[in-house]
Amino acid sequence: MQPEDNRSQWPRTLGHQAKGGTVTTQPTAEVSAQREGAEHDGKESYGLHAGVLGPLETLAQSVSAMAPSTSPSLTIPLVFALAGNATWFVYLLATGATLLVGYCVSRFAKLSASPGSLYTYAADTLPPAFGVIAAWGLLMAYVATGASVAGGALYYAGVLSQQFFHWTPPALLVLAIVCGVAGLIAYRDVKLSAELMLWIELISVSLILIVLAVLIFRFGFQFDMDQFKLKGVTISALGPALVLSMFSFVGFESATTLGGEAREPLKTIPRAVLQCAILAGVFFTLCAYSEVLGFRGAASALSDSTSPLHLLAAKAGISPLGVAIDFGAAVSMFACVLACTTAAARVLMKMAHSKLLPEILERTNRRHGTPGMAVALSAGIMFAATAALALRNVQGSDMYDWLGSLSVFGFLTAYALVAVALPFVRRAVGAHSHRVTAISVLTVVVMILIVIFDLRSATDATHARIPWIYLAYIAAGLAWYGLRRARASAI
């Protein structure tokens, strides 16, 4: 038994013919029907409600999986601790790396749409073992990210409860509510969950931009020459800072998991991936620059602040917005858990469809059009992981840090494999391009460099063990694949 090997589907999916000496690609009737949303049988939709998500709702999946409003509060201060005045520059570099990945993903997304997203792209093109690695890596990426932000939600629940009630809620109760409610919404209605995520992120990001705009209006627009000159920055610190900044972007591609539910998926999904990368890059770079500037002369350093935007709101004379931003960050983390539950469930469903996992995970609810067992398993693993850490008295902020670091390896693995596969699929459909090949090679190199930086940036025993935990997990996934294949051959 092995994953479905669909590599031969590419030449069938996109034919090519010469016209006047020029090779052009044409979608066949099958792909044209999919493009128009005309064919939604079980094979293409996998039992999901096809065509229910519009462009904004598809974009909301990617935006929510990134949880952009949490990075200004939790991630940017960590990056500043390493990069100092180069924080904005590090985010600019991370934006460039993300756009490279986004380009590769969007090229694939124009050719194929399925719930398996990046896993499908790699498995349909590369040898089966690489497809297995991509599948398990992407699953880890979404589950670990969801668990990470569940820990972040626990952290903010404590901050807000202490601020208003001088009371800290039980960790297990908070985690159960966050993961349980996210799982319930993901099961009931994918359209409802997408719309909910969209409004949560829109409100949260808008509040942050209002604070930054009021700061500029109150103190005047000014250039911070220390930041532009990268004053006091050491080159050796940029690598580890780049790794941290990449965690702000991971998940930007998760719209690809909605291939069975988005309208005109071959158009809306690649557009959503690139839009998300560009908008997030601008937002994060602006926040990084503004936060560093806003903390000039402050009593505490940005790297020591547990709620930097709260402090900046007070400095701008709009303290109530600071509280609203903290609340928005907590709710945004819930939206991210919801987005990751949705994405992980669809990867599980596609893995079951490819015989990597039991077929029960492939089943969908006829009424809701969602993979109920896969949703329950995704949310359950997120709760189990964070609950186990909570029972060991691990704080929510540490969960966010540790599990987020683990998820980065899964994303980088999937990103690199998609970049490796892209030139091959382009050649298969008769659309080979030296430019695409060059971008793919550059993307792989950048992903490898980020992994190397990540390995070198381990500052304690816990972070040093994370790469080994990930490698052991991938080895277990390959062993499971080998076992199921051997059993199938014996039948």
Model confidence pLDDT, tens digit, residues 419-437:
999 999 888 888 888 899 9
pLDDT at 446: 93
Instruction: Tell me the average pLDDT across 298-315.
Output: 77
pLDDT band with cut points at 50, 70 and 90 for residue 37: very low
Q: What is the pLDDT of residues 153-171, one digit of tens each?
A: 999 898 888 888 888 899 9
Distance linking the first and last C-alpha atoms of the chain? 10
Q: Please tell me which residue, 339 or 52, carries the higher pLDDT value.
A: 339
Please give the average per-residue pLDDT across 256-272, as a whole number: 86
User: Which residue in the block uniquely carries the two structure tokens 């109530």?
Assistant: 320
Tell me, what's the pLDDT at 428?
84
Residue 119, pLDDT > 50, answer: yes
Q: Which of 143, 132, 114 is nearest to 256 (CA)?
A: 114
**Residues contacting residue 282 through CB under 8 Å, at least 6 positions apart:** 95
- pLDDT value at 389 more than 80: yes
Is pLDDT above 90 for 188? no
Is the pLDDT score of 20 beyond 60? Answer: no
| Rounded Cα gap, residues 246 and 223, in angstroms | 26
Greater model confidence, 394 or 35? 394
Instruction: Output the pLDDT for position 489.
Output: 78
| pLDDT tens-place string over residues 197-228 | 778 888 888 888 888 888 877 777 778 888 98
Query: What does the alpha-carbon distance between residue 152 and residue 396 come to, in Å, rounded to a whole number?
Result: 5
Q: Is the pLDDT of residue 15 over 60?
A: no
Which tops the pLDDT comparison, 456 or 4?
456
DSSP 53: B
Residue 3 has pLDDT above 90, yes or no: no
Judge whether 52 and 268 are in contact, CB under 8 Å: no
Please give the residue that has the higher pLDDT: either 140 or 263.
140
Q: Which amino acid is at 24?
A: T
DSSP per residue, 359-410: GGGG---TTT-S-HHHHHHHHHHHHHHHHHHHHTT--HHHHHHHHHHHHHHH
Helix or strand run (H / E) with residue 105? helix 87-109
The predicted pLDDT at position 299 comes to 63
172's enclosing H/E stretch is helix 171-188
Task: Assess whether pLDDT exceeds 60 at residue 86.
Answer: yes
3-state helix, strand, coil in the chain (%, to 5): 75, 5, 20
Q: Is the pLDDT of residue 137 over 80?
A: yes
Average pLDDT, the chain: 83
pLDDT confidence tier of residue 388, bands split at 50, 70 and 90: very high
DSSP output for 246-273:
HTTTTTTTGGGGGTTTBSSHHHHHHHHH
* Alpha carbon 35 to chain centroid, angstroms: 25
